[in-house]
A and B are shown apart, each in its own frame.
Chain A
Amino acid sequence: DAGVIQSPRHEVTEMGQEVTLRCKPISGHNSLFWYRQTMMRGLELLIYFNNNVPIDDSGMPEDRFSAKMPNASFSTLKIQPSEPRDSAVYFCASSVDREGYEKLFFGSGTQLSVL
């Protein structure tokens, strides 16, 4: 299995531009999570989906952030307009949701720099 695939690996953009981060979860996994990692705030859960439905988006910092999961094999996290304080590493993770705990599999992350 190829694991969780995120793209792009690195993104450099200017303030005010739209940014779209992409994630392909592991085939058969039905839970998907978006995390943001910064030095100041550590690893924050932004939003998660179960069976393509957003379950909890309370971690999304503001309306500039939006996430979609149109099907079981693809999700996007969009920032519009982007700001320098959005600079961070964004991770996507997936797991199987069934009784008991199933570990999360993380992608390699997208390093976002907003200038």
Chain B
Amino acid sequence: GNSVTQMEGPVTLSEEAFLTINCTYTATGYPSLFWYVQYPGEGLQLLLKATKADDKGSNKGFEATYRKETTSFHLEKGSVQVSDSAVYFCALISGGYNKLIFGAGTRLAVHP
């Protein structure tokens, strides 16, 4: 079946460091891929998406490229801020009705 695998956290970085959170997927066909972010005490919200191979999604300095050959969608940011501290979820859409399958989530902690 369809699934998403993320690197385990927590990821702890200093402010202005480079961030990579790995995500790989297993799916039939060519799913759309997403990153959602969950700030403390809140629900998830969409960060970025890519709907076909080689697409790059970007938002708030974050970006991820849909790599069909490696079935990956790694999240990157060149310079993280304390306010980026959150849990990041990689996801794919599976079937109709916008049904999302999420990875386990990766907690990011950024220190001043």
Q: Which residues of A contact B (CB under 8 A)?
A: 4, 31, 33, 35, 42-43, 45, 48, 50, 55-56, 91, 93, 95, 97, 101-109
Contact = CB atoms under 8 A, between A and B. Distances in A.
Given A42-B103, A42-B104, A42-B105, A108 B42 contact: yes
A93 B36 CA distance: 13
A9 to B, nearest CB: 9
Contacts, number: 56
A55 B97 contact: yes
A33 B103 CA distance: 16
B97 A97 contact: yes
B99 A43 contact: no
B49 interface: yes
A106 B105 contact: no
Nearest to B89: A43
Contacts of A108: 41-43
Contact of A101 (B36, B51, B103): B51
Q: What 6 A-B pairs are tightest by C-beta distance, nearest first?
A: A106-B43, A42-B104, A103-B46, A43-B102, A106-B44, A95-B98
A7 B97 CA distance: 24
